[in-house]
Chain A
């Protein structure tokens, strides 16, 4: 009996793997010495506390790589690349300078463009960080359902990517200050702690929003609107002093008030409102704890829901 040549040509790969792969006999290699206690115990409601922080530390390089990927990809596809980081707050500043500064004559301390840009920089960072991190978990479903790592790295990386943009755009601020001949002052030493504070605040909001977004996709729809409103509830395009005294207490509940005003004071060399700053720091810490707890509680359902 001869075999029809053409019929046996068809050898679907999945079915035919020849035995060269070799059967593996167990225990041929050096048997690893097993630890006394399990390295990892998986139980319902287990992944909390110290082990979570240790995990986060183990995966710190992943955070770095995700931030790096974010930035790399973002600038690879755009013609202007890094220029966009600078253009965004700059264009917004021009728009607000023309409409609010020139036409509506909103009061400002110092030249209006510098006044607005000094607040627009941290604001652009904050808004961008909240928006990207808020959508980050849902956008990373392919990772969440396939690999384990501390989930919080995803919103963290989103904030991290924006933070890099933010730092780059300080170059423009320097040029603008030079152009308007605003002298540098010792107040600028407050910039690093302010940046840390703002980053933590953005992380708290972004982390909470990203977790909520996994369960309620409405968050993605509401978030941009809220962020827009938030800008006008913060002293970005106007000074704090135009808010009526009797409303000031309510107004200052917004943790961004202290931070944004602080940025402006640091850049323009004006006195700080230490009380407002301390309050912002307190609210930020509280929000961060709340967001972290919410995140931890919801984290275990991400893979099933996303």
Chain B
């Protein structure tokens, strides 16, 4: 099919350090004085935020753009939405494009909800008639009917975000660029936003979705592109790309170590140091289905006499469903381990949780780790989808002649017993 978006050899260079631009006239004059012949010095480190990126998007596709920070995702979106120009390459768009790089752009706190809807709509490129036609729908979606004539500065942050997203969600371009907008609001509203995005996609519109939320990418996108260091690292089915994203992101596969303490997730009470997957006696993110798999979490406690510190692990499957959540708390622990209840001195600790062999079905799983202090509950550190692993089916549970994959999230060997109840006489049939 003919693509609706065609990106060809797109590159964008930024100059760092000795800046190409002079912030003040004085700098400009000084450099002109220093090198009176020839143009002002232009060297300085250059950074290719994007380098020779090419891909195509077919009409109606929902394509995820993933990559670590600094991979070039935002630059790509900025070029596609014409905020900044590429250094070389070209993009062809065969449809109206709308971008949502941020919600609430141009919202003014002094204006009422009603006024901001008009203004924001115009900024996003909607016609006045279009805005009027959708006004009621927007207000209903944002659930701010009662406050529509109140200045938005009196809104709660939740209401503000809802209204902002509502306007943006009612844009109707043929190509929609979305950046991380879903990372706002409470869980219920996020769900609504995801639903809206799915709806947009079902209407046959094309969406380019940039996000760190792999669950959302997995749910919404049929295809994804992975950017790494400004280059296109992989393009393909979402699951494969997301798996590659995690594989490339964890150090050496199956392990994530934060070498700089200050940059590790955490706060002044607790901080993560490492999360790793161990199976078959080594760091391993491709465990066999019939081997145990351990998740090791290394963390610092900085609180003298700290207690009630819980290590939580969430396991999600490729579709984003939570397979299980577990913690090292006494009640959740199969071992008789009192660590959670006891007082601890500041130091480095390690918690290990072991999943039994023959438990998870073959497939891709994501590990999320939270450090939490309980009673009163407070989140100290979070590492969302920090590791990814693939459970491989070695065939131990396959029956010859039955073929195929077992259905289900888990694949547990359960005790079965089959016994004879009565004999039938062939003659009685």
Contact = CB atoms under 8 A, between A and B. Distances in A.
Contacts of B329: 4, 6-7
Contact of A27 (B108, B204, B310): B204
A65 interface: yes
Interface of B: 2, 4, 6, 14, 21-26, 28, 58-62, 78-97, 99, 101-102, 105-106, 108, 110-111, 115, 118-119, 122-125, 127-128, 174, 183, 185-187, 190-191, 194-195, 197-198, 201-205, 213, 215-216, 219-222, 310, 312, 314, 316, 319-322, 325-327, 329-332, 334, 368, 370, 372, 374-375, 377, 379, 382, 384-385
10 contacts: A7-B327, A15-B314, A32-B95, A44-B85, A44-B86, A62-B122, A72-B110, A142-B105, A215-B22, A217-B24
Given A16-B215, A18-B191, A216-B23, 19 more contacts: A4-B327, A7-B329, A8-B325, A9-B377, A14-B384, A15-B316, A16-B187, A17-B187, A17-B194, A17-B215, A18-B321, A22-B219, A29-B202, A29-B204, A38-B94, A41-B90, A42-B79, A42-B82, A69-B119
A23 B22 contact: no
Nearest to B372: A10
Given A15-B368, A21-B198, A22-B195, A39 B220 contact: no
B352 to A, nearest CB: 16
A32 B204 contact: yes
A103 interface: no
- Which 7 residue pairs across A and B have the least CB separation, nearest first? A29-B204, A21-B194, A24-B201, A4-B331, A13-B187, A38-B92, A42-B91
Given A39-B96, A147-B101, A30 B127 contact: no
Chain A interface mostly = loop
A226 interface: no
A19 interface: yes
Interface in A11-57: 11-32, 34-35, 38-47
A195 B377 CA distance: 65
Nearest to A36: B94
Contacts of A270: none
A241 B136 CA distance: 62
Contacts of B92: 38, 40-42
A143 interface: yes
Give the contact-size bracket for chain A: 35 or more
Nearest to B129: A61
A39 B108 contact: no
B308 to A, nearest CB: 9
Interface stretch (A174-182, A279-287, A298-306): A298-306
Contacts of B108: 69, 73
Given A31-B204, A216-B24, A305-B21, A17 B111 contact: no
A148 B197 contact: no
B223 to A, nearest CB: 8
Contacts of A76: 110-111
Contact of B322 (A2, A14, A16): A16
A6 B85 contact: no
Contacts of B83: 144-148, 303
A66 B183 CA distance: 28
B119 A29 contact: no
Given A47-B85, A149-B123, A216-B25, A15 B215 contact: yes
Interface in A63-121: 64-66, 68-69, 72-73, 76-77
A12 B370 contact: yes
B312 A10 contact: yes
